[in-house]
Structures are given as structure tokens and as C-alpha cells.
């Protein structure tokens, strides 16, 4: 959000602060929206449980990066799998297929897109979180076709369901996962 003279206003949020949303089976806290950051980026803190992940997808409008705060995850970017422990940074360039999955009981991570706008996609698919807790274990996830349609409105192409592909994107990502 711009302050006087078009200058971006300072933002200072603690853990647990920010716009809280239930996105798929994650708790998402928007730390900096595209509007607040003059379109430069979107910053979101996510919390997920083991098995939570994103559909295999490609961003056509932005680069994306993640920083793991707590827990462990596997990222798959452009055909390469990466194990990410706390302190790990993973970068996903625009137009490169990618997905990720929480592999520890829980994981907390920062997610940044540049330029901003991902928060619009979050709000279109999520619902306000009634508390700063994960959605219930029995949360009903939206159908992949619904996610695909909403994502397309934001320049995101969904290629397949959540899961880490065994090799390239031509391999069905919904197969049972093997140890990496």
C-alpha cells in the first residue's frame, strides 16, 4: 500500500500475524500483498502437515521462491527433486514446472512471488481461517478442475495433482511416492 507520494508504507508483522486463510490444506498468512508492496511481490507464510503440497503447476507471470522455517519438505522444480530442511532456500523460475510436499509432521515456510499477485489467487481459492490453526484433517479439497480454472485466471497452469513426480512431468504425479 502506498503512503504519501507513492512510497510503499512500512510493514512489520510477527509470526501469527497477517491475513489468515485456509488454502487447500494449508494455513496461509499473507504477510505482504501485491497492493501493500506496490505490485513488486507477494509474501505468504504457510503451515502444512505431512503430505500437504501443491498441484504440479507452472507460473506464467512470476518467479517463485520458498524459504523453509520449520520442518522438512521436498520440492520438485524443472525435473529436479530437492530435500529442504529448515534454513533451505528453493527458487522456481517463471515457466518452469514445479510442486512441493511437506515430508515432516508439519512444516512452516515463506513463499514469495515476484512480481506480486499470488495473493489474489489465494483469496479466490481460499476461505478466511477462523483460527491460526491448520484446517481440519478431514478438510475437503477442491476438485483439481476447479483449481485449474481459478489458477488459469491468474496465469498459473495446473499440470497435475499434488505429489512429487518420480521423474519428468510426463510421469503421472499421482502415483504412490517413493523415498527420495
- Hey, what's the cell of 131? 483460527
Domain boundaries, the chain: 18-130+142-162
Continuous segment of H or E residues that includes residue 144: helix 144-152
Q: 3-7, 36-40, 82-86: which range is least confident on average?
A: 3-7
Q: Give dist(CA 133, CA 143) in Å, integer.
A: 23
pLDDT of residue 92: 96
Contact (Cβ atoms closer than 8 angstroms) between residue 154 and residue 124: yes
pTM attached to this predicted model: 0.87
CA-nearest of 94, 72, 88, 93 to 164 is 72
Write out pLDDT tens, residues 99-120: 999 999 999 999 999 999 999 9
What homologous superfamily does CATH list for 18-130+142-162? Jelly Rolls (2.60.120.10)
Write out pLDDT tens, residues 141-158: 999 999 999 999 999 999
Amino acid at each position: 500500500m502506498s503512503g504519501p507520494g507513492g512510497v510503499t508504507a512500512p510493514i512489520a508483522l510477527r509470526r501469527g500475524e497477517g491475513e489468515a486463510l485456509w488454502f487447500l490444506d494449508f494455513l496461509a498468512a499473507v504477510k505482504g500483498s501485491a497492493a501493500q508492496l506496490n505490485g513488486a511481490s507477494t509474501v505468504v507464510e504457510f503451515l502444512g502437515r505431512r503430505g500437504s503440497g501443491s498441484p504440479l503447476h507452472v507460473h506464467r507471470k512470476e518467479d517463485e521462491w520458498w524459504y523453509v522455517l520449520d520442518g522438512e519438505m521436498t520440492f520438485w522444480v524443472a525435473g529436479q527433486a530437492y530435500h529442504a530442511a529448515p534454513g533451505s532456500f528453493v527458487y522456481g523460475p517463471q515457466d518452469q514446472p514445479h510442486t512441493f510436499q511437506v515430508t515432516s509432521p508439519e512444516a512452516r515456510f515463506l513463499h514469495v512471488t515476484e512480481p506480486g499477485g499470488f495473493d489474489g489467487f489465494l483469496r479466490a481459492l481460499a476461505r478466511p481461517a477462523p483460527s491460526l490453526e491448520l484446517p481440519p484433517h478431514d478438510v475437503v479439497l477442491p476438485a483439481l478442475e476447479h483449481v485449474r480454472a481459478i489458477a488459469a485466471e491468474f496465469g498459473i497452469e495446473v499440470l497435475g495433482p499434488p505429489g512429487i513426480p518420480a521423474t519428468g512431468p510426463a510421469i503421472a504425479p499421482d502415483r504412490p511416492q517413493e523415498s527420495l
